[in-house]
Structure formats: C-alpha cells, structure tokens
Amino acid sequence: MARLLLNCDMGESFGNWSLGDPAAVLPLIDQANLACGFHAGDFSVMSQVTAQAARAGVSIGAHPSYPDLQGFGRRAMALSEAEVTDLMLYQIGALDAFCRANGTQVSYVKPHGALYHAVYSEPSMFRAALEACRRYREGLALMTLAVKERSAVQQAADAAGVPLLFEAFADRAYLSDGTLSPRTRSASVHHEPQRIIDQALAIARGEAFPDIDGQPLQLAADTLCVHGDNPQSLQVLSELRSALEAV
C-alpha cells in the first residue's frame, strides 16, 4: 500500500458558531487545512487552531476561499485571474502570521469549495493559484485534485516552479473522469463509515473503486481528505489511521 498523507479541513468555526473538533482530529492526521476567514474561521479561531496544530506537529496548509461567509465558500464568483491571486495571497499571509507566532509556517495551499473547483477546472484559475504560491514563497506547494489526466497541470506547475500535492477524497463520490460529483447531485457525499474507509483504502492501494455510476475508477494521490464537517469524520479518521499504519 502506498503511503498516503491524511488531511482534514478545519478551523471552520466562527464566533459563537462551532464546527468540528480540532483537538480530537489533529492526532490522527498529517496535514491540517485551516480556514482563513473568507468562508469560515476568524482571527481567534485561526490563532487557536494554528497553535493546536503546531503543538501536534501537523503540517499546516492555508485553505483560502472566495469571500463567501453566507455560502460557506461554495458559491462561484466571477473574479479575474489577478483578483484570485490577490485574494489567495491575502489569506495565505493572514494564516502565516499566526503560524509564525507559533514557530511554524504555512507549508502548502489548498483552495476551498467553489474556488477549489475553479482551480482544477479552469486554466486561468489554476494559473492564479500557482501565481499566489509562487509569489508568496519559493517551494510553497499547491494542493489540487488528483484527476485522471494531469499532464497539463503538472507542466504548468513545473514551469511556475510550484510543487503540486495531488489530493483524493474518501467521502466524496467521483465522476468517471476523476472529478468530484457536484454536491447538488444526490449521493455525492458518502456518509456510511465503511464505504468511506473502503474507498480510502482502495485509493491508498492504487486499486479501483466505484464512481458515482458504479463504474471502476482508479486514481493516484499524495494525500487523502476526510472532511471535518462530516459527522463521521472522527470515527473514520481513527479507523483509517489504524488501517494505514497496520500495513
């Protein structure tokens, strides 16, 4: 079985509204994707969860979004390539301030929600994300979807000098091309813990698993995401971590 990193979106509480349990999740993962205030999170949440992640020795990634608190960053916005670079730089810098205050730094960038979809599906938005990483710091990696055909994005990233981390999802259904099934489509989010674990282990082993239409799909990935807002995430992460370490 290939060694897969485990990552989780977190730090998505805001004010008196709480989502997820970072203290319980952090010991089970390798990478924490922390909200930067545009879709969730605020300065206090960012400070607290960054400190928790630093103490746990977990790699910290910026999780920038379109400015969409009401829609949790899941609504598309018509922004230019330059605007997307700027909004990503703004959020990376904000999170990195808390990282530096805790003796660490942002290690990678994973766009959130609608911005994540735009980055892997629109060449201009992918260029914008690469430019944000390139301008912020040499070697800052971009996390993007592990689709079946990736030669074009790899070439663009190599030309920009930006490392890529290809990501797969344990709790999301896929279309036949390796892109994510839209959340608006029924059965696009898996809720059964065993199905999530089975899909995760298939990806880790390089084996095929069913896409949303039941057809076999095989993906290669560097890191695997289990969403922190999935009610089953803690149980799944615990069982999945044990399964991966048992190999």
User: Cβ(94)–Cβ(53) under 8 Å?
Assistant: no
Q: Tell me the CA end-to-end span of the chain in Å, nearest whole number.
A: 7
Q: Would you write out the chain's pLDDT as a tens digit for each of its 247 residues?
A: 457 899 999 999 999 988 888 998 999 999 999 999 999 999 999 999 999 999 999 999 999 999 999 999 999 999 999 999 999 999 999 999 999 999 999 999 999 999 999 999 999 999 999 999 999 999 999 999 999 889 999 999 999 999 999 999 988 999 999 999 988 888 898 888 889 889 989 998 889 999 999 999 999 999 999 876 556 677 778 888 887 777 5
Q: Where are the beta strands (DSSP E) in the chain?
A: 5-10, 31-35, 59-63, 108-109, 141-145, 164-169, 209-210, 216-217, 223-225
Q: Report the pLDDT value the prediction gives residue 232, as an integer from 0 to 100.
A: 66
236 vs 232: CA distance, rounded Å: 6
User: Cβ(215)–Cβ(176) under 8 Å?
Assistant: yes
Tokens of 6: 């485990």
236 vs 200: CA distance, rounded Å: 10
User: Cβ(4)–Cβ(203) under 8 Å?
Assistant: yes
- Token pair 């349990």 in the structure block, residue: 21
88 vs 136: CA distance, rounded Å: 10
Q: Report the pLDDT value the prediction gives residue 1, as an integer from 0 to 100.
A: 47
- Residues 217-245 as b/e (b if ≥16 CB within 10 A, e otherwise) read bebebbbbbbbbebebbbebbebbeeebe
Reference 111, options 100, 102, 122; nearest CA is 122
Tokens of 133: 């990483």
- Cβ-based neighbour number of residue 30 at 10 Å: 16
Fold (CATH) for 5-169+221-226: TIM Barrel (3.20.20)
Q: Report the pLDDT value the prediction gives residue 243, as an integer from 0 to 100.
A: 78
98 vs 170: CA distance, rounded Å: 29
Global pTM?
Answer: 0.93
- Cβ-based neighbour number of residue 55 at 10 Å: 12
Q: Report the pLDDT value the prediction gives residue 140, as an integer from 0 to 100.
A: 98
**Domain ranges within the chain, ordered by starting residue:** 5-169+221-226
Q: Report the pLDDT value the prediction gives residue 48, as an integer from 0 to 100.
A: 97
170 vs 224: CA distance, rounded Å: 7
Q: Which residues lie across from 217 on neighbouring strands?
A: 209
- Residues 93-116 as b/e (b if ≥16 CB within 10 A, e otherwise) read ebbbebbeeeebebbbbbbbbbbb
Q: Nearest 5 degrees, angle CA 84-CA 229-CA 165?
A: 50
Report the residue count for the chain: 247
Q: Report the pLDDT value the prediction gives residue 236, as an integer from 0 to 100.
A: 77
